[in-house]
Amino acid sequence: MSRGSSVKRPSLTEKIELWLSNGRVIDGLWIGSFLSDDPERILQRVEAALRLIEPSAPLHYQRVKKSLSRIWVQLAFAASIRLVVTGLMPPVPIAGDRRRRRISLVWPGGNENPGAAVLSTAPRIDIDPGTFWADPYPMLAKMRQEAPIAFVPQLGSTLLTSRDDISISEKQIDVFSSHQPAGLMNRLMGHNMMRKDGEAHQVERRAMFPTVSPKTVKAHWTALFQAHADRIIDGIGPGRIDFMRDFALPFSGECLKSITGLTNIGFEDMDAWSQGMIEGIANYAGDPAVEARCHAATAGIDAAIDDILPVMRKHPDQSILGVLLASGMPMESVRANVKLAISGGQNEPRKAIAGTVWALLSHPDQLDLVLRGEVSWLQAFEEYARWISPIGMSPRRIAKPWSIRDVSFELDERVFLMFGSANRDEKHFERADEFDVRRDTTRSVAFGAGPHFCAGAFASRAMIADVALPTLFARAKRFEIADDEPVRIGGWAFRGLQNLPVKWRH
């Protein structure tokens, strides 16, 4: 791009052309393009528009140039197609980020927020989705070091990866909003508390509280959880088992049946429906088979609710269904929040139980510390959830233009709060990549860091640390990892073990 030394003001015709062009304001400057269906031509026009800015506002131009690595052009010929022009200006230096100019089309509907492809000025970091799924931690460490706020085109989102940014931002609900009206979760599962802000969110959270409060968990649920654990362990024969399939899955399923009030279904249904919804709400590619499975899951839950409704109305109990009905919440919201509890309350305890067992069995010195009573079971669970956070990410929508340091966010941009990365932040956790039951985990955000802090946290701690872990290790006469099959682990938004082959006898 040429840099004339004499400051040339744009002519009136140029100004009019610029304002007539189809563009937007970036850092106080209007960047325009002309109506055209030829991407190369649009690029030329945008470059021409920038050239106009350079001489008339050199300081502004430098600022834009420094921070701008992408320019949005919205084409008039098809309002639904958004053309993202990347690399028009030299990107903010990120190791290896020196790509040629690229144009890519982003189709609304493929994202949880239709406007999600609106971009911040965050530096761009590319990931390989397969590698990220297999092990996101090296890439997250690179982001924390080089660009703690980074735009990742493969995820269509800007990622916050440092613990401090996440902890501060999550509480700013006027900026980092949970309200994502056109999102997949709302569309497929109904509008639940997790996708609401402020009072609308608090009302529903308060309505659920009588089920999940520490008092109810202690007085009511813990004994039930214990009965589930004992019964399931009784049924496990000696020998080679898949601990995930034979204990973690049925145990979290039975506990969640009790908590939700859907005692009329099988634990297998609970697991399959939870999985169906989780896959459905992450179905950014719009795979019809995944969406169909999600619809089947929500239809199954609605049928189970309808089936038990007359009993629950007559004899309301302390379950989520019972207390939400008693609160007078509209039925649509009751259904949506029961579905939320199922989508979040099955997989995470299942993975956390199997994961903590695996971590302890593969670190025998640390298991000894717990068995000797020097470290609590709760501490072992909390450290596992820090080390491999079962929920590694929570999405937010930018509700008003905002800046953090030199990154400005755009309205409706989609942001991912990367809890899994925050929990490996070396500023807060020494040797963050190591599992160490002795460490202080009070700064872990495995259950969140703001008003949406996991409603099921007390129940989970009771389920896992008060019941599952102590009962398993007390009753086991043999409990070893079997070496005939590898332990499979994956995921970044939801991460954990998929199997856990063990040799067991009680």
Residues in the site for ligand HEM, rule: CB under 6 A?
170, 193-194, 205, 212, 259, 340-341, 344-345, 348-349, 352, 385, 390-391, 394, 419, 446-450, 452-456, 459-460
Q: Which DSSP symbol is given to 287?
A: -
Least separation in angstroms between residue 355's CB and ligand HEM is 9
Sign, CA dihedral 436-438-443-448, equals positive
* 403/398 Cα distance (integer angstroms): 11
Least separation in angstroms between residue 280's CB and ligand HEM is 17
DSSP string for residues in 127-183: --HHHHHH--HHHHHHHHHH-SEEEEGGGTEEEE-SHHHHHHHHH-TTTEE---TTS
* Residue 366 exposure: Cα atoms within 13 Å on the Cβ side: 20
CA distances from 54 to 8, 23, 57, 92 (A): 9, 17, 6, 18
Q: Which is nearer to ligand HEM, 18 or 464 (CB)?
A: 464
Could you give the strand order of the β-sheet that contains 176-177, starting from the edge strand earlier in sequence?
149-152, 157-160, 414-417, 394-398, 176-177
Q: What are phi and psi of 401, to 5 degrees?
A: -55, 140
Q: Which is nearer to ligand HEM, 144 or 205 (CB)?
A: 205
Least separation in angstroms between residue 324's CB and ligand HEM is 11
Q: Which is nearer to ligand HEM, 148 or 448 (CB)?
A: 448
Structure tokens that stand for 372 in this block: 């000797």
Q: Which is nearer to ligand HEM, 45 or 414 (CB)?
A: 414
* 322/324 Cα distance (integer angstroms): 6
Q: Which is nearer to ligand HEM, 94 or 272 (CB)?
A: 272
Q: Which is nearer to ligand HEM, 144 or 196 (CB)?
A: 196
If you count them, how many residues does the chain have?
A: 506
Least separation in angstroms between residue 142's CB and ligand HEM is 23
Least separation in angstroms between residue 344's CB and ligand HEM is 4
Least separation in angstroms between residue 207's CB and ligand HEM is 11
Q: Which is nearer to ligand HEM, 241 or 352 (CB)?
A: 352
